[in-house]
Structure 1
Amino acid sequence: MLKKATSALSVAVLLGSLLAGCGTSGDKAPASSAPAAGGTSDAALKPEKQLIVAGNGATVEQLMKDEIFKRFNEKYPDVKLTYVSGVSTEIVAKAKAQKASPQMDVTIVEGGEQEAGRVEGLWETLSEKDIPSMSKISDDLKTKDNSGVAVNFTPMGISYNEALVKEKNLPVPTSWNDLTRPEMKGNLTLSEISSNFGRSTLIMLAYANGGSEKNMDAGFEKMKTIAGYMPTFAKSAAQLQQNLQNKSAVYTTWTMARSLVQKDAGLDMKFVVPQEGANLVPNVATMIKGAKNPNAAKLFIEFLLSDDVQQLYATKLYYNPVTKVNLPMETAKMLSFDNSKIVKFDLETVGSKTPEWIDRFNKEIAPKVGK
């Protein structure tokens, strides 16, 4: 039986607040500048003169530089902002390498990588005293030991080019096991399991066949079949996107947010949460332990939870907000999904087991590519 999130992520917070609270693009949520009970206002923190933020590249980096940084500087004009782009695994590895002398202040990484960094002791503990809006976040999206703050999230699933599916008379996917169907050969692109996309797919293949993140044998067996359908595993999300845009692939596994962004790029991809369920992918902001600009870091994380930034994440990148904000009705509908299918991974297990899974992938799966 699938292990499902049953409490506040009862994504009721999610969709309940999205759909019940949506309005026109001009609607604003109630002002939330007052600090949480027992908290302090941001006026109590004096920011340093600079802040170095690390996070994903591409559209995420563009939004950060073009919109979020500019708005933060309107409020704190004396803070020089620098952005370091990379995939989550690279950012955590960089933070680990710099542990003795941190060169970054804030990271925004996916949940599994954030947990791996927590185990390594890379993140400072955060509190509502300095980041009052932490109190608005569902318990199911909170990190262990308050080692970070979720700033948005999106579900994983299967994405496909509807036009090519019809043209080639291919199946519409409804199950993770559909990835093993013979029709997938030559039509599928997946990422390596060092990426969250590939790793989540592997775990969900285990769940779909009686396993879990604590019993991955079934997932690896299914992935052996899938490997034979592809010339290679993609090294990055950019490569997945390229394979879809040049139509060398019809299907992939990634997040709903990634799928929806493709429409803005002119590629109409359909997204499904398979019948066995899917995990959520939160993006988590952390403050590096020993950060040289701690006040600016705390103020920036609080800023990411503001109504304006939460709305930007939703309308520009199609990430679900983690706080209750009003969204345009069209956006709220696009971001809706069947929350009864959410599978909540044990991120501590995922974080600790990923190196072992990668070794096993390299030994058992990689040699079967294209065979």
Structure 2
Amino acid sequence: MMKKALSVLSVMSLVGLLLAGCGNSEPQPAASNQTTSGGNAGSEVQMEGELVVAGNGSTVEKLMKDKIFKKFNEKYPNVKLTYVPGVSTEIVAQVKAQKNAPQIDVAVIEGGEQEKGHQAGLWEPITEKDVPNMNKVPKEYHVSDNSGVTVNVTPIGISYNAKLVEEKGLPIPKSWNDLTKPEMKGYITMAGITSNFGRSPLIMLSYANGGSEKDMDPGFEKLKIIAGYMPTFAKSSAQLMQNLQNESAAYTTWTMARSLVLKDSGLPLEFVFPEEGGNAVLTVASQVKGAQHPVAAKAFIDFLLTDEIQTMYATDLFYSPSVDVKLPDDVAKMLEFDRSKVVTFDNDVVASKTAEWLDRFNKEVAPLAGK
């Protein structure tokens, strides 16, 4: 121990002499916004002094700014963090538009949109050397070509206002096909298929009727029926929420996480994972290719996979962690669903076919709303 102490003192003395020899003991400006990171085992690298993260707004933005950013800055206090809120489709479009001069370093977005970005070459491949915690993510949550890392998961299904359903004597849904029952007319609100809240149910309506993402005819036929039950397709999740809150609708299709957040705020929502199953929506963190702050980006993605942040995703937003972490018993119980019924979509097909589906939706389905 004494030898080690003497060695350290010798090194410190040498550094002092070198600084004195330079004639300037003040820190250099270039180093004033740098943070030492120990992300690579056994080595130290200089982290940039800034990081720009893009992700969903609303409750996700609040968690990021109020808690996750603060915790990250406790570890890396010299990194200035900026958050850019938006929906996943907008973020991918923004990253694509900035491809030659990226302004965003990390995108934390829905997996289907992340795959579109992957096909467009927007993300930097990630390795366990740079993001050690990614080795805790199970294989079923791995992202194509390691172009990102799954940071949380939530299933899509059907939510209903239990109070309104009981008062009106409406059916409790068990199947995706229950949304086509005549008694549902006037009580459904759904998003268009530009949103995953509309696109995934469309795909599941195909699965529930003998099709799949590779055969969407059955889903489109069922969605045409549902369109006639609604005045219009909602343009945003905020509109879906408003329709449920003002009781102009009793049913919607979206994630368990969204349903539980609103239930926690006092809205009497119940979530159903339909008997045919449904897809698990992955939230994926990706480093933008050519990002200005790549070291900080990797450190931040790795930080999102720590037990502390994974627990925050569960307790604050009701997302299931993407890694094995011990949750409070009451939260763990709330997040239970039949994982044997998870349907894994072929994201390559979904990403390549979405534009075609949207064109068909606009021509065949959307005009039927309000009829």
TM-score by length of structure 2 reads 0.89
Report 1:292-331 matches (<5 A): 292-331=292-331
Are 2:187 and 1:187 equivalent residues in the alignment?
Answer: yes
Other-structure match for 2:291: 291
| Aligned pairs (5 A) from 1:59-208 | 59-208=59-208
Task: Report deviation, 1:324.
Answer: 1.2
CA separation in 1, counterparts of 2:313 and 2:268?
20
SS state at 1:95 partner: helix
Q: Distance in 1 between matches of 2:150 and 2:215?
A: 27
User: What residue ranges of structure 1 are gaps of 5+ in the alignment?
Assistant: 1-34
Cα deviation, residue 43, structure 1 = 6.2
SS in 2 for 1:270: strand
One-letter amino acid of the counterpart of residue 81, structure 1: L
Aligned equivalents of 1:354, 1:109: Cα separation in 2: 17
User: Counterpart in 2 of 1:349?
Assistant: 349
Larger Rg: 2
Secondary structure of the corresponding residue to residue 232 of structure 1: coil
Matched AA of 2:353: K
Instruction: Return the offset for 1:130.
Output: 0.6
> Equivalent pairs: percent with the same residue?
65
The ranges of structure 1 where at least 4 consecutive aligned residues each deviate by more than 6 angstroms after the TM superposition are none
- 1:200-279 aligned within 5 A: 200-279=200-279
> Separation in 1 of the partners of 2:339 and 2:283?
18
TM-score (norm 1): 0.89
Q: Is the 8 A contact 1:151 1:321 kept in 2?
A: yes
Q: Mind listing any 5+ residue stretches in structure 2 that lack a counterpart? A: 1-37
By relative contact order (CA 8 Å, sep 6+), the higher-ranking structure is: 1
Letter paired with 2:247: K
Which amino acid is the alignment partner of residue 277 of structure 2? Answer: G
What secondary structure, in the 3-state scheme, does the structure 2 residue paired with 1:46 have? strand
Paired with 1:330 and 1:266, the residues of 2 have a C-alpha distance of 17
Distance 1:248 1:134 in 2: 43
Number of residues paired by the alignment? Answer: 334
Deviations 1:295-353 (A, max 9, x none): 00000000000111000000000000011111100000000101111111001111111
Q: Give the Cα separation in 1 of the matches to 2:335 and 2:44.
A: 36
Shift of residue 184 of structure 1? Answer: 1.3
Measure, in 2, the Cα distance between the counterparts of 1:44 and 1:321: 29
Determine if contact 1:153/1:283 at 8 Å carries over to the other structure. Answer: yes
Read off the aligned partner of 2:110 and give its amino acid letter.
E
C-alpha deviations, 1:256-303, integer Å up to 9, x for none?
A: 000000122210211011111100000000000000000000000000
